[in-house]
Amino acid sequence: MKITKAIYNDLGLQALIGELRAMFKASGYLRATVTDSKPRSLSQNALAAVWYGQISRELGEGSPEGVKAECKLRFGVPILRAEDDDFREMYDGAIRHSLTYDQKLAVMRFLPVTSLMSTDQLSRYLEHVQHAYADRVGLQFPDDWRAAA
């Protein structure tokens, strides 16, 4: 059994502790990963969507969905592989050495990558996207970017 929860208050924390106790009582074993990073923000999601469209329009190469798939593969997958053991194990076992680049791009249209990221991870992802396209597309962060993230 696996539990994934975002805890925002004492009541949520108490509920999680209760679930963990029950799991431990049933199996006698727990493996836990806990983080204090916030989930990605709506403003980050909106900015990413705007950038995918901008890159697609300005370069005239593919659709925004295709740009998103390429960015997820080129920039998102390395971040998650480096920082999420479960993601790395899944990706390396099922995708990394088994599929061609084009097949990986097709998978990116369905595989959650950016939606699994914390606020900090998605900020770094967007910085990588901006840097990678800097010589061809003028991707700009809003003035209040860091406050919103």
Q: Domain limits of the chain?
A: 1-34, 42-148
Please say if the pLDDT value at position 137 is more than 50: yes
More confident residue, 38 or 96: 96
Residue with more model confidence, 130 or 34: 130
pLDDT in tens, 1-28: 777 777 767 887 888 888 888 889 999 9
- pLDDT value at 123 more than 80: yes
Query: What pTM was estimated for this model as a whole?
Result: 0.73
Q: CB of 91 within 8 A of CB of 81?
A: yes
- HSE (CB half, 13 Å, CA atoms) of 148? 14
Mean pLDDT of 51-60: 95
What is the DSSP annotation of 38-68?
PBPPHHHHHHHHHHHHHHHHHHT-S-HHHHH
Give the DSSP letter of residue 37. Answer: P
Residue 42 pLDDT class (50, 70, 90 cuts): low
